[in-house]
Amino acid sequence: MSERESMPYDVVIVGAGPAGLTAAIRLKQLAAEAGGEISVCILEKGSEVGAHILSGAVIDPRSLDELLPEWRTAGCPLAEVPVHDNQHWLLSKKGKWNVPHRLMPRFMHNEGTYTGSLGNLCRWLAEQAEGLGVEIFPGFAAAEILYHEDGSVKGVATGDMGVACDGTHKPDYQPGLELHARYTFFGEGVRGHLSKQLQRQFGLCEGVEPQIYGLGVKELWDIDPELHVPGRVIHTQGWPLNETRGSNGGGFLYHQANGQVALGFVTWLNYTNPYLSPFQEMQRWKTHPAIAEILKGGKRVSYGARAISDGGLQAIPKLTFPGGVLIGDSAGFLNVPRIKGTHTAMKSGMLAAEAAFAAVQADRSSDELIAYPEAFRASWAYKELSIVRNVAPLVKKFGDLIGSGLANVTMFLESWGVKMPFTMGHKPDHESLWRKDLVQPIDYPKPDGVLTFDRLSSVFLSNTNHEEDQPVHLTLKDPDIPVEYDLPLYDEPAQRYCPAGVYEIVGEAEGTPKFVINAQNCVHCKTCDIKDPTQNINWVVPEGGGGPNYPNM
């Protein structure tokens, strides 16, 4: 008999991100409108709501307007800085060209959007949810999917606490808790540990393109007040990634509240050169004269990184299975050219909530909420993602200059109602690397400690912490592959694609190379799980509460 206690709910939501919180609020709203009750809880692996949330962020408020129309006057921190100046720069090594707005579709202009901390928005949404009666449990990681005898999802179990590295129970050991639900929503974010299992278990990815990803590396700076323009939004393309064949991506710099700018760099993870380091590309990007001028005299105050889903509409898996649904970035609703997914993630949570509420009202349980994907296909979110579905594949196939031009033409035509008669596909990111003997190593400059930095000092600013004596959450299917396969073929790329210095090869000069995993450094970006060429690294949840603690990201 299980020693774990259990708690029953109508709906259990995994992840207190924008999608999960929106779903919970919408469920409670519908119950109040119907004069009834619905029990809802959210599990959040971060130490608090928002601790693991990282985004640029420029947010389209469309879903927020639908969910909580009075949010601008209700103390929501996002309302503080509306976007009023939108710029798109094409960078060469020393110069830039500001792309005129008339050359881009209107939806790319950022009219009516806001810039701020997505983590703080989630904290505010959590307050609204708790005010409606939603139970939120931060510091508890959903570690296991529970099933009924018929194979439908029964709920989830949190991870055991107080387990040592060797698997023994420490004095403070506490078994996990089972949460049973009529329906379970999985909103774990990109490359969710449990979502991957569900995709395999129920064949959710059959008939769709493989998901592809980018890695966003972000910093928050206090800058010279004379250089700060609240509401100014800048995106960049071109340098430095255009110097490395087979790589794409771009930068962002957002002037936000309190004299701060959020800046970051996204590297698409289908790059080909195993010597490329997304972290160091971001540091190099900051040395461009136009970026460095804005940061002159400033101070870096925070750092983080996370993967984003770039696959678009054609990579969204089947959203339902018996007993549950995928919402938000667990499914991948990002609008790639707009670099916005919060509004579409929130819409997915609302649509799933409406389907689940109707089912609970009808006394259903553990079946498929087919009304959810049907509602998505009829929604503005589906139309928006359909318009931009070919952007990422075109840029990857034809490069930044020609590919972006073709993508722009298709976006114009699609937004005018001229639907392209094709949808392009993807190849998985882990299949893109070339052997090290086919490429040139990249000579990255040493950090100066003023404008550019190393990874370990950066991780310090992310407030990352894991209990040291716990099972390593970065697991290897075959411990010999890093040294025997990845090292000779790719010079073990995990040393470079990880933005937190988790992986290293030691003893190579002595002829005794060893693969070392510094799991305490992990910022939960999931890049290793995505980019490892043999898919040998499997990211699983650590003990609840571990990982970064982003204060304002």
Active site residues: 55, 306, 342, 498, 522, 525, 528
Asked if residue 522 lies in contact with residue 500, where contact means CB atoms within 8 angstroms, the answer is: yes
Q: Is 305 helix (H, G, I), strand (E, B) or coil?
A: strand
Q: Is the dihedral of CA 480, 476, 204, 188 positive or negative?
A: negative
Antiparallel, parallel or unpaired: β 85-91 and 232-238: parallel
Cis peptide before 138 (omega within 30 of 0): no
Asked if residue 34 lies in contact with residue 361, where contact means CB atoms within 8 angstroms, the answer is: yes
28: phi then psi, degrees, rounded to nearest 5: -70, -35
Q: Is 429 helix (H, G, I), strand (E, B) or coil?
A: helix
Distance CA 25, CA 43 (A): 14
Phi-psi region of 360 (alpha: psi -120 to 50; beta: other; left: phi over 0): alpha
**238 closest CA partner among 424, 426, 99, 376:** 99
134: phi then psi, degrees, rounded to nearest 5: -75, 135
Distance CA 316, CA 337 (A): 17
Asked if residue 515 lies in contact with residue 503, where contact means CB atoms within 8 angstroms, the answer is: yes
Distance CA 343, CA 334 (A): 9
Asked if residue 104 lies in contact with residue 115, where contact means CB atoms within 8 angstroms, the answer is: no
Q: State the DSSP H helix or E strand holding residue 303, giving kind and residue range, or none if neither.
A: strand 299-309
Give Dmax over CA atoms of the chain in angstroms: 72
Distance CA 382, CA 214 (A): 21
Structure tokens at 462: 């992310």
Structure tokens at 2: 């299980």
Structure tokens at 500: 């937190």
Measuring CA to CA, how many Å separate 248 from each of 93, 134, 204, 239, 401?
Answer: 15, 41, 28, 10, 11
Asked if residue 354 lies in contact with residue 346, where contact means CB atoms within 8 angstroms, the answer is: no
Asked if residue 318 lies in contact with residue 332, where contact means CB atoms within 8 angstroms, the answer is: no
Structure tokens at 399: 């490069």
Asked if residue 46 lies in contact with residue 140, where contact means CB atoms within 8 angstroms, the answer is: no
Give residues with Cβ within 8 angstroms of 367, minimum separation 6: 152, 322, 323, 359
